[in-house]
Every structure is written in C-alpha cells, then in structure tokens.
C-alpha cells in the first residue's frame, strides 16, 4: 500500500489553530484537544461531561458528531495546512454503543487526499477502548491560490 | 401510495416532552421548538445565533446535525408516543449550502415505521426556503412492554 | 423555495445516451428506461426479474443500488447535458422493504446542482407505490472546458 | 480493546454457502470468492472483468457495491453462522479511485456484533494495494429461534 502523506503541522499547531478559528469550542466549555498527529491520521480527545449527555445519562449523538467532524478537520489541517474554509460536504455516522461520561478518543484517518475532496474515516472509542461510534466524512477543499 | 400513520401526539406535546427529556437544550440556550406535526412528518425550527456559527460566520455542521437528529426524534415521538430511549443508530447528512444565522426549518418525514427500526428523511431550509442540508436518520426502538 | 433548474435533455434523449455509454445494461439483459424528466427530477423504471433476486426471492440490494445510481445519473444528465465521466463519489442507501419481482420506479430529485458536486435524493417504489428503498447520491462533475 | 469474536465458519465454508444461497453469482459469471476469515474480519476477492466496467473502462459503482455488500455478508456469516435471511438495512459507500479491471480485494471488519444489528466496515483495494472504495454496512439479523 502506498505510504500516507506526511503531516505538515504538529498536534499542538493544529490544536492552537482550532482554538483560533473555533472560539466557540472554548465558549461552550468543551474540553477538547488534538493529542497526536501521524502520517495519515490524527487523534482528538474530548472530555465528555454533563452538558454532553442525553436521556439515560449517556453521551449524546450531536456530541459524537461534533467530535467526529472536528477530528476529520484536524487530520485534514495536519496534512494540508491552515485551510479554515474547508467544509464538510457529507458525514455518515453509526452509533455503536452508548458511552458513559469521560474521555472519548477520535482517531481520524485519511482515506483519500484529493485536490477537491478529502475523505476520512473516524473511529471513536471510550476509555476502555470500546468502539462507540464510527463515521466517514468528506470535506470539500477550496481552490488554493 | 399507502397513507402515512396518524400522529399520536401534538406539536406542543412533543415540544414539552423534549424540554423534559433534553433539559440540555434549554441549558445550552438553544431556541428550538416543534412547530407542526402532520401524518408522517414534523417541522422543527431552530433560531441559529452566534453560538451556532463556524469560521466564516455560517451555521456549523454540528448545529445542523443536532437539528436533523432532533427533528427525526420529534417525528418518531409524534407517531409512536413517548419513547425516551429510542436511539439514533445511523445518520447520514449532506451539507448543501452554508446558512446564515436566523431561523432554520427542519422537516422530518417517516420513510419506514418498523417495529425495531424507524427510518426518516430530514430536509433543512433557511428562511428563504433554500435547502441547506439533507439527512437520513435511522432510530432503533426498544422493545415495548 | 427557488424554482429547480429546467432540464436540457428529454427522457428519451437520456435513455438513448445511457444505452450508448452503458452498453453493459443491454448486455446484462436489464430492462431499464428513463420514463420521465421534469424540472429537478427524473423517473427511471426497472423491470426486476429472476436475475435480480436474492435468497428469499426478493429484489437484491445491488439491483436497487444500480437503479438508484442510474436514476441519479439520469437526472444529472437531464439537467447538465452529456457528461459521461461524471462519477459517483458517495451513495448512501436505506433498504426499507424487500420488493417482489416486477417494476421498480426510482424518482431522482436534485438537492443541489453545484459546479463541482451534484447531490441527489432517490426514492424507489414498487408497483403498489410502497417505498422500498431510499438513497442519497453525490456525483462529482469534471471541469467543463 | 476487547478481542473480536472468533469465527464459527471457515472461508471455504462461507464461500460454499454463498454459492448455494446466491446462485445468481455463478449465473452472472462473477468470479468471486471468500479468501480468508479471521477474528472480526473476512477477505473477499472479485476478478473484475469487462462486464463490470463503466464508461471510461473502470470498474462500475454497482460492482463495487455488490462486492462491499457481499463481503459484509461474508464476515457476518463467518461469525454468526448460516443466516440466509440477514438483510442489509443501510450501506454507505465512498468511491475513492476508479479501479482498472483486475482483482479487487474487499476486507470486511465487524464494528459491532449486536443481537439485532451488525455494523461492518469494508475497504476495497486494487491489486496495487490502493484503496479504491470504502463502505459501512448495517445488517439486520432475524430473531434466532
């Protein structure tokens, strides 16, 4: 299999950039950070707490969607650099288990890095390593000038 | 085509029930309400404001996901009654345009009302009637006792 | 809601073009035709027979995928003209009922007609008008010169 | 991470069973076989030839859908045994590259093995190891008596 592209930003550079372009994350009080970046993938962690829960006391769907979408964005930024206006065109998510509050790890992997479209795969696991959700997301990349 | 099932709850009953089981909606300050319920569908409106924006000043993906998911839940509740623990198993969303802040209307339609799975279609439009996102969502219904 | 774009090809022009670029359809013996084209949508009919069945005697998933994909392609051709190399980038399909052999009607609707991406919605019904499958498909359009 | 479930059927047992329940595969002349089964996954190979091509001479979408769907079914059979009437409820596929005729390998992995739903991930690669398509599929499992 061909080697995945090398990242052009570090985990802390991606984290800082996300804080800058998504100030809402901090405003909403979400505790979320890019933990690691490697060729072809990125790991993003959310500390899910009370405000992320749904009836029954488990982490809500929109919270996992947000984490999946952000992890996809992080892996793309890490590999193509600062492109704030990259936008999600499609996201398909399967909810597999209802996670308890606590840390959730999203590992995003680049499936295709095209000029116009980037396709990613995102696996979300709980602190016990159980897969709780799985998504695929496509981002459209604006023409670079 | 066969007639869709008749609703068993009114729009205001569904709204009240959502407020009760999702107190986070109020806590997060989201202005969201079930506007209408009819055989086979439901209309849910969100007033998107500053806290729902992403870089570029348009409504974020997670906000539209949340609205699509809630509209799907609303149309299901309206047709099968109070089932707090119905859970989303799959949601696929296509983002078509970047909506400005303002009211967003989500019309959820039941495609299949099975015993175990309910499949819904959700169209989100802005105040000009432009389609801004489209989703399909599947909910799993717990066995009724 | 804004008016959908007007078609630029008739149903029979689209059918003829599909026969030309997809000779496999005839080779495989599929009986499939574009029945109608209207602003924003197209109707494609397949006569499902023995070779389209799966265990249990109902129409197979790949058959319904093929019909959904072809209906999406037909509605795109009808609205942007002959673009043989338009390609499906994403297709999400929900199977709702197991259809018996017989005619299946796929109504494809354009959700977004962008310069690079076209997003479509496809509803497949059996001869009794029951919805048997629902799909959304995204096509990438090559740059026009 | 928890260990995946152990298979209950071998690759050749799954292949034989598919030949028995899907005689259409042979009738259509598809050259397809289950190559390997391991805990949590299965490898299915299709020799794509002329009848699987689309305009431009690359392997068609319906062919890759069929391969993805069959690989998902194979991994499920391998892990829960002969359940002919398991049915696909949802399949989402991203087409990443246009593959040339030749062998296509589909690796299906179980993401969740529930009592009612099984969620799988399918990666399709060409003979050079390039990822050409990626899918997720959900199957509904009939109640076992």
Question: Does C66 score more than 60 pLDDT?
Answer: yes
Chain C interface, mutation test: which of B68, B117, B125, B136, most C Cβ atoms within 10 Å?
Answer: B136
List the domain boundaries for chain D: 11-140
**Positive or negative: CA dihedral A65, A69, A72, A74:** negative
Rounded mean pLDDT of chain C?
A: 89
Residues on chain D touching C95 (C-beta within 8 angstroms): 87-90
Classify domain D11-140 by CATH number: 3.10.129.10
pLDDT tens for residues B90-142? 999 999 999 999 999 999 999 999 989 999 999 999 999 999 999 999 999 98
Greater confidence, D49 or A131? Answer: A131
- Res C57: pLDDT: 81
Is any Cβ of chain B less than 8 angstroms from the Cβ of D31? no
pTM attached to this predicted model: 0.94
Confidence of residue D112 (pLDDT cuts 50, 70, 90): very high
Averaged pLDDT, B43-57:
85
Predicted-complex ipTM score: 0.92
Using a pLDDT cut of 70, give the percent of chain B over it.
Answer: 90
Distance from CA of C21 to the nearest CA of D (A): 6
- Res C4: pLDDT: 72
The set of chains that have 3 or more CB pairs under 8 A with D is A, B, C
DSSP C61-75: HHHHHHHHHHHHHHH
The set of chains that have 3 or more CB pairs under 8 A with C is A, B, D
Top-ranked range on mean pLDDT: pick from B83-87, C30-34, D10-14: D10-14
Distance from CA of D29 to the nearest CA of A (A): 29
Confidence of residue D2 (pLDDT cuts 50, 70, 90): low
Is any Cβ of chain C less than 8 angstroms from the Cβ of D136? no
Is any Cβ of chain A less than 8 angstroms from the Cβ of D111? yes
Residues on chain B touching C94 (C-beta within 8 angstroms): 111-112, 119, 136, 138
Using a pLDDT cut of 70, give the percent of chain C over it.
Answer: 90
Among partner residues A22, A66, A95, which is closest to B88 by beta-carbon distance? A95
Question: Does B27 score more than 70 pLDDT?
Answer: no
Structure tokens at D39: 């805990």
Is any Cβ of chain A less than 8 angstroms from the Cβ of C89? yes
Distance from CA of D24 to the nearest CA of C (A): 6
Confidence of residue D49 (pLDDT cuts 50, 70, 90): confident
Question: Does D1 score more than 60 pLDDT?
Answer: no
Is any Cβ of chain B less than 8 angstroms from the Cβ of C136? yes
Confidence of residue C27 (pLDDT cuts 50, 70, 90): low
Residues on chain C touching B136 (C-beta within 8 angstroms): 92, 94, 134, 136
- Res B120: pLDDT: 98
Beta bridge partners of D136: D92, D121
Instruction: Name residues whose C-beta falls within 8 Å of residue A22's C-beta, 6 or more positions apart in sequence.
Output: A70, B54, B55
Chain A interface, mutation test: which of C91, C117, C118, most A Cβ atoms within 10 Å?
Answer: C117
Among partner residues B96, B129, B130, which is closest to C119 by beta-carbon distance? B96
Among partner residues B53, B56, B87, which is closest to A85 by beta-carbon distance? B56
Residues on chain B touching C136 (C-beta within 8 angstroms): 92, 94, 134, 136
Greater confidence, D15 or A56? Answer: D15
Q: In what order do the strands lie in the sheet with C117-125?
A: C32-38, C41-48, C102-113, C117-125, C131-140, C87-95, D87-95, D131-140, D117-125, D102-113, D41-48, D32-38
Averaged pLDDT, D129-141:
96
- Res A107: pLDDT: 98
Residues on chain C touching D56 (C-beta within 8 angstroms): 84-85
Whether residue D85 contacts residue C55, with contact meaning beta carbons closer than 8 Å, is answered with: yes
Rounded mean pLDDT of chain A?
A: 89
Question: Does A145 score more than 90 pLDDT?
Answer: no
Structure tokens at C30: 């599929």
Structure tokens at C57: 């005697």
- Res D89: pLDDT: 96
Beta strands in chain D (DSSP E): 32-38, 41-48, 87-95, 102-113, 117-125, 131-140
Distance from CA of D20 to the nearest CA of A (A): 31
Rounded mean pLDDT of chain B?
A: 90
Confidence of residue B26 (pLDDT cuts 50, 70, 90): low
- Res B43: pLDDT: 98
- Res B53: pLDDT: 79
Chain A interface, mutation test: which of B93, B101, B136, most A Cβ atoms within 10 Å?
Answer: B93
Rounded mean pLDDT of chain D?
A: 90
Confidence of residue A4 (pLDDT cuts 50, 70, 90): confident
The set of chains that have 3 or more CB pairs under 8 A with B is A, C, D
Averaged pLDDT, D8-15:
95
- The CA distance from D93 to C65, in Å, is 11
Top-ranked range on mean pLDDT: pick from C128-132, D20-24, D60-64: C128-132
Chain C interface, mutation test: which of A86, A87, A90, A136, most C Cβ atoms within 10 Å?
Answer: A90
- Res C1: pLDDT: 53
- Res B144: pLDDT: 63
Q: Terminal CA-to-CA distance of chain C, rounded, Å?
A: 31
Residues on chain C touching B92 (C-beta within 8 angstroms): 92, 136
Question: Does A27 score more than 90 pLDDT?
Answer: no
Is any Cβ of chain D less than 8 angstroms from the Cβ of C21? yes
pLDDT tens for residues D67-106? 999 999 999 999 999 876 788 999 999 999 999 999 999 9
User: To which H or E segment does residue C46 belong?
Assistant: strand C41-48
């Amino acid at each position: 299999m061909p080697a995945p592209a090398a990242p052009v930003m570090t985990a802390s550079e991606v984290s800082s950039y996300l804080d800058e372009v998504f100030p809402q994350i901090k405003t909403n009080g979400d505790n979320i950070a890019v933990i690691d970046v490697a060729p072809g993938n990125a790991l993003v962690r959310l500390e899910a707490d009370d405000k992320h829960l749904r009836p029954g006391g488990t982490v809500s769907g929109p919270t996992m969607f947000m984490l999946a979408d952000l992890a996809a964005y992080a892996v793309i930024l890490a590999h193509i650099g600062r492109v704030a206006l990259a936008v999600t065109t499609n996201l398909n998510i399967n909810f597999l288990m209802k996670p308890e509050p606590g840390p959730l790890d999203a590992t995003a992997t680049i499936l295709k890095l095209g000029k116009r479209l980037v396709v990613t795969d995102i696996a979300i696991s709980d602190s016990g390593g159980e897969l709780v959700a799985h998504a695929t997301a496509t981002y459209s990349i604006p023409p670079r000038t």
